[in-house]
Amino acid sequence: MNILCSNDDGILAPGLALLADVCREVADVTVVAPDREQSGTSHSLTLHRPLRPARRPDGSIQVDGTPTDCVMLAMEALMPVRPDFVFSGVNHGPNMGEDVLYSGTVSAAMEGVMLGVPGVALSFTGHHPETMATYRDTLVRLVRKITSAPDFPSHMLLNINLPDRPASDVAGVRVTRLGSRYFSDSLTRMKDPWGREIMWIGGGTITWTGGEQSDHVAVAEGFISVTPLQMDLTNFGLIEAVRGWDLS
């Protein structure tokens, strides 16, 4: 079995080292990741300049591009054989609810799905590498179960979030749906040294909704959240309503 590992935190991120180490327990691993942090780049591609993959002394490959670039280059040019899975992460910070639309971590796994290979995105909802490191054995078991699942479809993406607590305190694994979160006051107006207005996106207050089966509720209650995602964003419930608008 062959696994491609990537991320959006960059080639030197502790979460990527953990993921690659875990995946080597069950498969041959190729690591192709951005040469710097690419958080929030979503599914963007680098189209207006060439990309330069560079092999590092440890055998991993860094790319001066986005997570999506990395997976595309890996599968189309850098790997001698097509991977059986694309694993992305372990992200430093959560990817739940609408985060999946912004996340470079999720998008790397999604690119694998778009190219016909099942993808798994993993995120740690805390920010302390020491706590994330306690999940090694848990992740080995989880990766082993996922890669041995007899009916894992090539068009499915799993989005996994680990709660911000030591692995020994985890309540279990819960299969969830995406919740929804709303940011308030996430835009800060500032002045640059020349008095010109600048705006900084980030921070603010988060309000979560979604119900008991949502990802953020599971994580808050100490469970590992596993959410199956699909590529088709069509709202099938509204197709007939929109047809009734007589847009022709």
Give me the pLDDT at residue 191, please: 93
99 Cβ contact list (under 8 Å, min separation 6): 106, 181
- pLDDT per 10-residue tile (average), the chain, 248 residues: 97 98 98 93 93 97 97 96 96 93 95 96 95 98 95 90 97 95 79 92 76 93 96 91 90
Write out the H or E segment, with its range, that includes residue 123: strand 119-124
With respect to residue 185, please indicate whether it lies within any of the assigned structural domains: no
- The encoded tokens of residue 198 equal 């600048």
With respect to residue 19, please indicate whether it lies within any of the assigned structural domains: yes
Amino acid found at 136: R
Give me the pLDDT at residue 246, please: 86
With respect to residue 64, please indicate whether it lies within any of the assigned structural domains: yes
Give me the pLDDT at residue 111, please: 97
With respect to residue 217, please indicate whether it lies within any of the assigned structural domains: yes
Q: Nearest 5 degrees, angle CA 68-CA 74-CA 75?
A: 95
Which residue range(s) make up the domain with 218? 2-179+211-243
How far apart are the C-alpha atoms of 171 and 213, rounded to whole Å?
15
Q: How far apart are the first and last CA of the chain?
A: 51
Whole-model pTM above 0.85?
yes
CB 205 within 8 A of CB 187: no
Write out the H or E segment, with its range, that includes residue 207: strand 205-209
Tally of domains in the chain: 1
Sheet strands (E) in 104-192: 119-124, 157-162, 172-175, 180-184, 187-191
With respect to residue 186, please indicate whether it lies within any of the assigned structural domains: no
From the CB of residue 180, how many other CB atoms can be counted at a distance below 10 Å?
14
Give me the pLDDT at residue 196, please: 95
The closest of 55, 51, 81, 87 to 69, measured between CA atoms, is 51
In CATH, what number is assigned to the domain containing residue 135? 3.40.1210.10
With respect to residue 107, please indicate whether it lies within any of the assigned structural domains: yes
